[in-house]
Structure 1
Amino acid sequence: MDKLRSLEMFLATCDSGSFAAAARLCKTDPSTISKAIARLESQLQLTLFQRSTRQLRITQAGQRYAETVRKAMLDINHCEGELKQLNDFPSGQLKISAAVCYGHLYLRPMLKAFCQQYPDIQISLDINDLHVDIIEQEIDVALRTGYVKDSRLVARRLSPMDFMICASPSYLQQHGTPSCAAEFEHHQWIGFRIKETQQLQPVFLPDANGDYQYVELKRDHVTDDGESMANMCIDGFGFAQLPHFLAKNGLESGELVSLFPSFRPPEHENGVFAIYPKREYLPSKVRVFIDFLTNWLAQQKETTHHTWAENYQSLVSFPKE
């Protein structure tokens, strides 16, 4: 029997004056009550009740112990009530870590509406592309791209990650529009260097059958910042293979055009994920944030298995020989 249950039986005995009455209050039998009191007395090496055939009388030590136990039980009940209320009504600080580009382009635009809907939640936002230990730094939820391998964490896919071959209209006007993968070798390319590995992100181009293959290309310009990569593409530095969330604004404004249908890496390695520590009960502030973000993405035509890029009408719709 756990200590808390024994203390509940002790207080019931104090209040009712007998083991039989305490048993009725605790929905058990008198012998269980008697054994619980005896166990407490053994642990304390004190007599809590003087017993006789006719009555049960609490000792001075028992009275003092009862006062302390009653206060502790009230504190526990009060704390449990407060915690339940916090989880019923999302509030408190929500620590979010987000990849730089996704944080700027997708997360930031929806935060105001989220905070308006949940005014008792305060946002603590970390924008960083480097690896972050979510548990060590007590982060509630992280938004990351790519496959996540950590048994301590839950990774909930928000959307796939589709890549698009983009250029500015001015660049195409000056240098021409490639009609097949081989022609891209004669054009300038902007490369993306991954900060953690310092490796260049690979480029995949469509073959004659429309299947994407890894291609070794010379990168004329390189950056480790996604938004700079998109802006350099807009400024006419050359072609770039951009993730859909980086290409979106430029395509919508007409500052970028896309050639060929989007490319999606293998499903198990691909995606945008909401990552949070594995736990039995997810705090309501995390739950409502993920639900809000999921609904906001659905309005942008992005779901667990689809993005708007799948149906985007590219300048060149299929490769040619």
Structure 2
Amino acid sequence: MDRWQAMRIAVKVADSGSFAQAARQLHLSPAAITRAVSALEDQLRARLFVRTTRSVKLTDAGSRYVEDCRRILADIDEAEAAAGGLHATPSGTLTLTAPILFGQMVVLPILHDYLAAYPAMRGRTLFLDRPVNLLEEDIDVAVRIGHLPDSGFTAIQVGSVRRVVCGAPAYFSRHGTPATPADLKDHRLIAPTGAWASSEWRFAGNQRITTDPWLQCNTNDVAIATALAGAGLTRVLHYQIGPALQAGQLQIVLAGFEEPALPIHVLYPEGRRASAKVKAFVDMAVTQLRAHPLLR
């Protein structure tokens, strides 16, 4: 096996933390991955990985070597891409992830515009209400809501979203309007139970209430539909009820007690070495998201 492929395997094992996972991603057998790493360690006369039955971890020498491999492989990719014109014209498949409702309502129209602008491109979406590992899932671009952990990826903030309490006008006419968060104990609360949901609703000034939901819903769209029917109050992200707000079907309450808005970022791994397909989508997404009226 040539040196370039051996370096590529070492980086993939380090990123995935698993010989088996690296084998799947590189379309090789686990035995081939093991042999390649062992041969590389023999050639370098240094141990790169500490292997146990449950995990694979880099040694100090391995950490230094893998970082050097990343730089060298990136330079090779850059040279090949420049020679083949990859960085001039977007082509291939763009894989994109975002939260489900945000993906459907906000990101998908941008992807449609992108595919229309670049006919050689194909798209693939992975809309999930949980964080996705960009490297393990081979994701090109992610749109994330909330504060980001340190990852080494390039992140561009494109807006923010509020977490709001809302209900239908018919509900307020029957049950009144809460004036403070403490008043919510006297109202029917509809609580989403999906990712990032909590039984504790937090407000500005460190005010918190522990909800006793009249109805628990496993998805935000079901909670919103129940609120639209006038059955109770729910707490969701502002963009999720944008059309209903504009139509007067829902109203926001307790706006003066809201926590600071959550940031929205476009996130991608390659940084300045990103391919043309990624750069073109990121440029389009940043422009459209920053202009979106519900993300300010």
What TM-score results when the alignment is normalised by the length of structure 1? 0.61
SS of equivalent to 2:109 = helix
Partner of 2:45: none
Partner of 1:21: none
Counterpart code for 1:120: A
Residue deviations 1:269-305 (CA, integer Å, cap 9, x gap): x3222221144412221122122122222332366xx
Residue deviations 1:86-123 (CA, integer Å, cap 9, x gap): 21122221011121111111112333222222222211
In 1, distance between residues paired with 2:178 and 2:294?
29
Partner of 2:169: 169
In 2, distance between residues paired with 1:126 and 1:248?
23
Over 6 Å off, 4+ runs: none
RMSD across aligned positions (CA): 2.7
Partner of 1:73: none
1:251 aligned to 2:249? no
Q: Which structure: larger Rg?
A: 1
Partner of 1:284: 276
In 1, distance between residues paired with 2:257 and 2:92?
40
- Unaligned segments of structure 1, at least 5 residues: 1-75, 308-321
SS of equivalent to 2:129 = coil
Alignment check: 8 A CA contact 1:163 1:262 kept: no
1:214 aligned to 2:212? no
The 5 Å alignment of 1:1-321 reads 80=81, 83=84, 85-195=85-195, 200=198, 202-205=200-203, 211=205, 213-261=207-255, 265=259, 270-301=262-293, 307=296
CA shift for structure 1 position 258: 1.0
What TM-score results when the alignment is normalised by the length of structure 2? 0.66
**Percent identity over the alignment?**
22
CA shift for structure 1 position 204: 3.0
Alignment check: 8 A CA contact 1:165 1:262 kept: no
CA shift for structure 1 position 80: 4.9
SS of equivalent to 1:88 = coil
Counterpart code for 2:220: G
Alignment check: 8 A CA contact 2:179 2:254 kept: no
Counterpart code for 2:125: L
Counterpart code for 2:130: L
